[in-house]
Amino acid sequence: MPAVPAAHALRVDPTPRFEISPGIYMQFMEPLGVADGSINAAWDYKRGDWREDLVALTRELAPPVIRWPGGCLASYYRWREGVGPRGRRPLMHNLLWGSVETNHVGTHEYADFCRRVGAESLVCVNFESDGRQHWARPEVQPLVGANRLRSAGPAEAAAWVDYCNNPVNRERRRNGERRPFDIRLWQIGNETSYNRKGYDVETAARRTRVFAKAMRRADPSIKLIGWGDSGWARRMLEVNGDLLDYVAFHFGLRPRWKRTPLKFSDWRRDPALTWKHLMTGWEGLDRKIRTVRREVRGFDARFAITEAHWSLPGLQRCDVQATWAAGVSLGRVLNVFERHGDVVRIATAADYCGTQWMNNAVLLNPRACFMMPVARVMQLYRHHVGEHAVALGCRPTSTSPRADVRTRSTCT
């Protein structure tokens, strides 16, 4: 094999630039009603426990963080309906996703699952239904025992923090758990900016401050995430920079072309073009992160990308998402998270588990569960990622592209 010309040789600066956060390999768990089995498919109702095969598989995947209960479901979730004896928990309407949520998986079950698989918990609180009155006071009649008002304020969020983290919380102890759950990560608001009928940025920033103060009074050691998408990041930090540890935004991965084979089964007709289109999904994510970086210039900001999905035209459950090509394309997404690892500290590239929703990491059926290609790629990153980023360049021109590569100490 001929030697690489010196003019094209790679150059590595082994000096660590920044630490790579393991939180960028997070998973996201949400009860999705009729849209997906998700948590219902993961729960063994006969045994009253998590499916053992899912627990074992998740240990292999080793997500450092699991986010729950949503997602949009958090905007109408009342946490006390999900604690206490499971047989006495009320059913609730899953307002966005349809069907009925059993509440068999609540705070105790979720915290227990995270403990079993070695993951940190990230809880998204009900932020006054993000200002959306159709969720706060839905027209549908409540089910027996469920609260008609689906909005929850700062007092309820603070009580949830105390329930989880106060070693002597009486309510938690009455429900059978003496040890605190010690949940450190809490998100205030989910996709608050995505609906014009909800809060505007000024209202959201002001109410976030009220929530953050109440929650920190319950436990000053928690880490708080505020909503910063749609150009809100700077204003959110201007109002709450002293209280928030992260600003959150989401991203829908899309190919850059208007006409694309990534629709229904069209991808089978032209594998080469399909590959080309899949490999561009990362570009929009990179642009968005750079945009938010510019927005918050001057602030010591950290980002939490708590949802990211392939958002394809046509049928969203397109079977191309189950291919290795989709897995490799999401490997590029993970590379983007790492390259921006000085500010991106929490991120995900797939929904955690389900039966037919977007790009699942783990697929479930009644008898088995298995990792999808995206999970296999995430597993490789999770187990082989280094601790720091270093600079990689090439000679001879000063305009040569630079990228971050991962090493445990230095490149050799």
Q: pLDDT band at 351, cuts 50/70/90?
A: confident
Phi, psi at 334, each rounded to 5° = -65, -35
Query: What does each C-alpha distance from 110 to 83, 116, 123, 155 come to in angstroms?
Result: 11, 10, 10, 22
Give the pLDDT confidence of 68-100 residue by residue, as tens digits: 998 999 999 999 999 999 999 999 999 998 889
Give the pLDDT confidence of 24-49 residue by residue, as tens digits: 999 999 988 876 667 888 999 999 99
Tokens, residue 388? 């720091």
- The burial class, CB within 10 Å (0-12 / 13-18 / 19+), for 103 is buried
The pLDDT mean for the chain works out to 89
Contact by Cβ (8 Å): 164, 111: yes
Phi and psi based region of residue 129 (left: phi greater than 0; alpha: psi -120 to 50; beta: remaining): left
Name 92's bridge partners. Answer: 101
Q: What is the mean pLDDT of residues 165-191?
A: 98
C-alpha closest to that of 22 among 384, 410, 315: 384
- The burial class, CB within 10 Å (0-12 / 13-18 / 19+), for 91 is middle
Query: Which are the contacts of 386, defined by CB distance < 8 A and separation ≥ 6?
Result: 20, 406, 407, 408, 409
Return contacts of 291-300, CB within 8 angstroms, 24+ apart: 292/228, 292/233, 292/247, 292/249, 293/340, 293/343, 295/231, 295/233, 295/234, 296/228, 296/233, 296/234, 296/237, 296/247, 299/234, 299/237, 299/241
Among 141-145, 159-163, 381-385, 392-396, the minimum mean pLDDT is found in 392-396
Q: Which amino acid is at 186?
A: W
Give the pLDDT confidence of 149-170 residue by residue, as tens digits: 999 999 999 999 999 999 999 9
- What's domain 21-385's superfamily in CATH? Glycosidases (3.20.20.80)
The helix or strand, by DSSP H or E, that contains position 181, with its residue range, turns out to be: none
Query: Which is higher by pLDDT, 408 or 157?
Result: 157
Q: pLDDT band at 267, cuts 50/70/90?
A: confident
Residue 410 has pLDDT above 80, yes or no: no
Contact by Cβ (8 Å): 285, 166: no
Residue ranges of the chain assigned to CATH 3.20.20.80: 21-385
Task: Give the span between the Cα atoms of 69 and 105, in whole angstroms.
Answer: 9
